[in-house]
Amino acid sequence: MALVVICGQPCSGKSIAAVTLAEALKESETKQSVRIIDEASFHLDRNQNYANMPAEKNLRGKLRSDVDRSVSRGDIVIVDSLNSIKGYRYELWCIARAAGIRYCVVFCDVDEEHCRQWNKERGDRGEASYDDGIFEDLVRRFEKPERRNRWDSPLFELYPSRDGIEKASPVISEAVTYLTKTVDSKTQDVRILQPSIATQGARFSEANSLYELDRATQEVINAVVEQQSLGGAISRVTLGSELPPIEICRPVGLPELRRLRRTFVKLMGQASLSGPPLPTDADSAKRRFVDYLNREFGGSSA
């Protein structure tokens, strides 16, 4: 058994990569049984899936639940979706770890301009494509995988715009070898995740998630207050290179910020009861809160 997470910008060749890898696995010496879990299986329009935060959370929750059910069936499971948020890839990694199986990420590395062009070409052909606004929002929020992160490792990188995607390509072959190689006491280049007490007892800690959400949102509020206190009218609050700015068109007082924070935390808690869990890391929590503030303030990243 193994879990493969396909990752990439919208319209970067992920579905082709998933199908190509699945075919290569089925044709390998071990004749692997493969199951692809993708957004199309839920019969939802791709623009509806990413129209707003609740819809996107709902989609990720459905994907994660399907993965959780499937990893115990003995198949190699390939998750064909954006998988663009590192906190979500961490959640998938936790599922693999709890199941005690192999795990890897296949990243379709394509520059934004090629993705934008491919999206337009799909629309011109009458195929499923992203609306311009949704496409740009997804591109902006994409969190590139890094092999130093355990939930992004091992990382197999494809370059579809440069090399195409073929069953015989070196990266696909490397992934197949990693996923099918027989493991014994001397094997060092294949890692099978081992369940810990934490993942066996409870895969995601609600208390830790609430703590991260509380801490992250408070740091965002502190940044807004601090930058407004420097004097002069400001229209943008920056939070570093990894997060989008907060666009504000008027002074925002601390009481209003606290009210918005309380409302956001309440909404996130209510949504997690019936859908995806709360963010598992500070950056994801901050990004969601910034998106929420920009919508409330009428900012450009809404």
Non-local CB neighbours of 242 within 8 Å, separated by 6+ positions = 283
pLDDT for position 11? 97
216-228: pLDDT as tens digits: 898 999 989 888 8
pLDDT in tens, 194-213: 665 444 444 445 555 666 78
pLDDT value of position 92: 93
Please give the pLDDT value at position 249: 81
Confidence category of residue 279, pLDDT binned at 50, 70, 90: low
- Tell me the per-residue pLDDT of 102-150, one tens digit each, with 9 for 90 and over: 999 999 999 999 999 999 999 999 999 999 999 999 999 999 999 999 9
The answer to whether the CB of 60 falls within 8 A of the CB of 284 is: no
CATH topology of domain 2-180: Rossmann fold (3.40.50)
Strand duo 246-247 + 34-38: pairing = unpaired
Kindly give, in sequence order, each residue whose CB lies less than 8 Å from that of residue 32, ignoring residues fewer than 6 positions away: 25, 26, 75, 76, 179, 180
Domain edges within the chain: 2-180, 208-299
